[in-house]
């Protein structure tokens, strides 16, 4: 069941050690986990469940903790990430609830990588990984922040990584990282020590009530990035999980190396919508600033840059000065900045020159070269499926190619989690398939507890439903494909012109002007996504990209049609002057439009409502998801 605010309660397969062993012997353990945890699991994950969970169960039985509850594949609220196991029980000394988060690894050998105690290299994965103790530490802090029964109760929560196939001598470097309450490490030959660790935190009594209190707990609704305070951002680094934390640590490590030996390098962080790129970027900005580093946060988006400046500049004037545009970095030299954090790097342009550039400053030098040169460690965060304009060229290959020409190494980290769309990785895949950005084609949406997908029968129904969701803490916006002309100036009465007309329904585009008016005026374009008044206008790709809100309404314009049961793009229905160049090939136009709708469909935190103008398209999507009642 969904709770108020749209987030779900924790979900896990609640069982016990004896039951895990019984299921394992019957070869039904994997099926029980998928049926009860809500996670299907990839083939490697399923093999891991079969190999590791019975080992943990045997440890619990040897410790006499047969009645402790095992919450297997326990979800992190609002995220696609899971904890291998949460052991729920009673503390042997205090009698209070006690929870131990366990991260299980099948590694046999591991060593430190990148000269960092927090980044390790394992023969099992053959790649750089976050230290497993740091991984479980991040899970603890995430749950402590979001789960009400864990707020202000540090003493009830513990984290441990168990490398059950390893002997300490073959992973000895990993013990250089100091242990703490939320993150410590044991290996297979330390089984007895691990048993004593568990006995010190869990009594041999039933953990059923403790498990129920955790699973039934209220969830603190996650604050969006632009509603976070500067203090929130300073603490955000502690709650980064998995590859988010790995990316953070990788950047910090490259900075330290660059200062010690003048080693310049490029860091590339990739991930889809909601994977946490921007929170990694802002966490880095706050940490580097606190460390006295010379740093800038930059984007190629006017809307994002202005909104960030307004949001954080009101709190800390010095922070506002660190937020800038790509083109403002073009005159900066390597020795001037330690780090430049290039968020939304898919928006890198061919050059920084535009129509506003003075003739004496015009250049044909690639913008990516200017960004690489601007700092000792340039950091690029991007999603290649968010390139939506012909002059945007930010791709992994482009950055790697230009770094290679400069003789610089590139370190790439892929963010594999989902922290938007209710943490539903399934929805992200559904959108990719719907839009033909994956090979499978449109699929029927299977409702889950994480995210809501609905189809409206009309724009009126969409607007009414979304308006009903809005509260002081819940936001909603309607966006559309750029398929209607845009009257840039208000009418004679000062009202925005309702250019978007669908039957009897009409709405204006978001305000084109950048200036802020009075309290009753529509917000400027760059503030549309973050101002409650924005609901009264329809946003476009240029005002929605990079932002998030709780509920997203998306109108598929007449440019989206159906051919052979797949969505196709009709070029002559598009009204965006930026895409009407005769030099833009049809296949390039096609992918830009598909990317545009991918961005629009993945802005929501709790749900999305879709309506298509084309009747055949509306019929297709109506068969894929539940209609609004």
Count the neighbouring beta carbons within 10 Å of the beta carbon of residue 326: 25
- Residues of the chain with pLDDT > 90, as a percent, come to 66
Beta strands in 164-205 (DSSP E): 184-187
For 200-248, write each residue's pLDDT tens digit.
Answer: 999 999 999 999 999 999 987 655 555 555 566 666 667 788 899 999 9
User: What pLDDT sits at residue 219?
Assistant: 85
Return the bridge partners of 14, or none: 71
Q: Does domain 13-215 have CATH number 3.40.91?
A: yes
Give the whole-angstrom CA distance, residue 152 versus residue 572.
Answer: 58
- Tell me the mean pLDDT in the region 376-398: 92
For 87-107, write each residue's pLDDT tens digit.
Answer: 999 999 999 999 999 999 999
DSSP secondary structure string for all residues of 396-440 = HHHHHHHHHHTT--EEEEE-----SGGG-HHHHHHHHHHTTSSTT
- 225-414, CATH topology level: Rossmann fold (3.40.50)
Residues in the chain: 629
For 270-309, write each residue's pLDDT tens digit.
Answer: 988 888 898 899 899 989 999 999 999 999 988 889 888 8
- Tell me the mean pLDDT in the region 120-133: 85
- Tell me the mean pLDDT in the region 100-126: 88
Give the whole-angstrom CA distance, residue 367 versus residue 345.
Answer: 11
Q: What is the mean pLDDT of the chain?
A: 89
For the chain, the distance separating the N- and C-terminal CA atoms, rounded to the nearest angstrom, is: 19
Give the whole-angstrom CA distance, residue 595 versus residue 579.
Answer: 13
Query: Picking from 142-146, 178-182, 205-209, 618-622, which range would have the lowest pLDDT averaged per residue?
Result: 142-146
Give the whole-angstrom CA distance, residue 336 versus residue 561.
Answer: 51
The pLDDT of residue 260 is above 80:
no
In this prediction, residue 37 has a pLDDT band, given cuts at 50, 70 and 90, of confident
**Which residue, 590, 588, 609, is CA-closest to 600?**
609
User: What pLDDT sits at residue 4?
Assistant: 34
The pLDDT of residue 609 is above 90:
yes
In this prediction, residue 41 has a pLDDT band, given cuts at 50, 70 and 90, of confident
**Dihedral sign (CA 246, 236, 74, 97):** positive
pLDDT top residue among 518 and 552: 552
* Rg (the chain; Cα; Å): 26
CB 188 within 8 A of CB 163: yes
In this prediction the pTM is 0.85
Query: Taking phi first (over 0 means left), then psi (-120 to 50 degrees means alpha), and beta for anything else, what does residue 529 get?
Result: alpha
User: What pLDDT sits at residue 1?
Assistant: 33
Give the whole-angstrom CA distance, residue 103 versus residue 85.
Answer: 7
Give the whole-angstrom CA distance, residue 286 versus residue 341.
Answer: 11
| 82-109 CB burial, b ≥16 within 10 A, e <16 | bbbbbbbbbbeeeeebbbbbbbbbbbbe
Kind of pairing, strands 127-130 and 626-627? unpaired
């Amino acid at each position: 069941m969904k709770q108020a605010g749209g987030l779900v309660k924790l979900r896990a397969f609640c069982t016990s050690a004896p039951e895990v062993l019984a299921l394992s012997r019957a070869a039904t353990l994997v099926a029980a986990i998928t049926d009860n945890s809500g996670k299907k699991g990839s083939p490697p994950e399923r093999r891991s469940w079969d190999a590791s969970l019975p080992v943990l169960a045997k440890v619990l039985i040897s410790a006499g903790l047969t009645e402790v509850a095992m919450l297997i594949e326990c979800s992190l609220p609002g995220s696609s990430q899971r904890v291998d196991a949460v052991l729920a029980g009673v503390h042997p000394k205090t009698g209070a609830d006690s929870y131990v988060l366990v991260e299980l690894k099948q590694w046999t050998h591991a060593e430190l990588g990148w000269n960092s105690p927090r980044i390790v290299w394992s023969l099992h994965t053959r790649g750089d990984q976050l230290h497993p103790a740091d991984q479980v530490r991040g899970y603890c802090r995430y749950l402590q922040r979001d789960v009400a029964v864990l707020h202000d109760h540090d003493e009830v929560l513990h984290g441990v990584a168990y490398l059950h196939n390893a002997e300490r001598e073959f992973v000895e470097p990993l013990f250089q990282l100091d242990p703490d309450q939320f993150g410590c490490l044991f290996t297979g030959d330390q089984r007895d020590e691990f048993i004593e660790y568990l006995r010190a935190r869990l009594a041999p009594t039933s953990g059923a009530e403790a498990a129920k209190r955790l699973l039934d707990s209220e969830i603190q609704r996650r604050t969006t990035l632009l509603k976070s305070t500067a203090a929130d951002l300073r603490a955000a680094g502690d709650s980064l999980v998995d590859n988010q934390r790995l990316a953070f640590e990788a950047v910090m490590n490259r900075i330290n190396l660059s200062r010690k030996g003048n080693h310049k390098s490029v860091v590339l962080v990739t991930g889809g919508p909601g994977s946490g790129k921007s929170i990694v970027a802002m966490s880095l900005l706050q940490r580097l600033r606190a460390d006295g580093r010379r740093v800038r946060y930059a984007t190629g988006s006017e809307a994002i840059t202005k909104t960030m400046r307004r949001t954080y500049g009101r709190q800390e004037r010095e922070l506002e000065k660190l937020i800038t545009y790509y083109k403002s970095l073009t005159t900066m030299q390597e020795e001037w900045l330690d780090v430049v954090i290039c968020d939304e790097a898919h928006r890198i342009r061919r050059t920084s020159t535009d129509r506003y550039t003075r003739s004496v400053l015009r250049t044909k030098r690639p913008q990516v070269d200017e960004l690489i040169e601007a700092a000792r460690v340039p950091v690029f965060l991007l999603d290649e499926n968010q390139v939506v304009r012909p002059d945007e060229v930010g791709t992994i290959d482009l950055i790697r190619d230009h770094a290679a020409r400069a003789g610089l190494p590139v370190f790439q980290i892929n963010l594999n989690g989902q922290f938007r769309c209710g943490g539903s990785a399934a929805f992200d895949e559904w959108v990719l398939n719907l839009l033909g950005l994956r090979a499978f084609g449109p699929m029927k949406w299977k409702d889950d507890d994480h995210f809501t997908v609905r189809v409206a029968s009309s724009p009126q129904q969409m607007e009414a439903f979304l308006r009903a969701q809005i509260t002081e803490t819940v936001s909603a916006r309607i966006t559309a494909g750029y398929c209607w002309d845009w009257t840039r100036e208000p009418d004679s009465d000062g009202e925005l012109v309702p250019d978007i007309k669908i039957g009897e329904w009409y709405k204006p585009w978001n305000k084109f002007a950048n200036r802020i008016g009075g309290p009753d005026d529509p917000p400027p374009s760059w503030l549309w996504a973050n101002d409650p008044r924005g609901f009264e206008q329809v946003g476009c790709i240029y005002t929605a990209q990079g932002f998030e809100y709780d509920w997203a309404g998306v109108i598929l314009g007449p440019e989206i049609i159906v051919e052979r049961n797949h969505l196709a793009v009709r070029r002559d229905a598009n009204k965006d002057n930026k895409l009407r160049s005769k030099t833009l090939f049809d296949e390039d136009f096609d992918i830009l439009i598909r990317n545009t709708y991918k961005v629009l469909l993945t802005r929501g935190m709790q749900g999305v409502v879709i309506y298509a103008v084309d009747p055949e398209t509306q019929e297709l999507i109506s068969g894929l998801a539940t209609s609004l009642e």
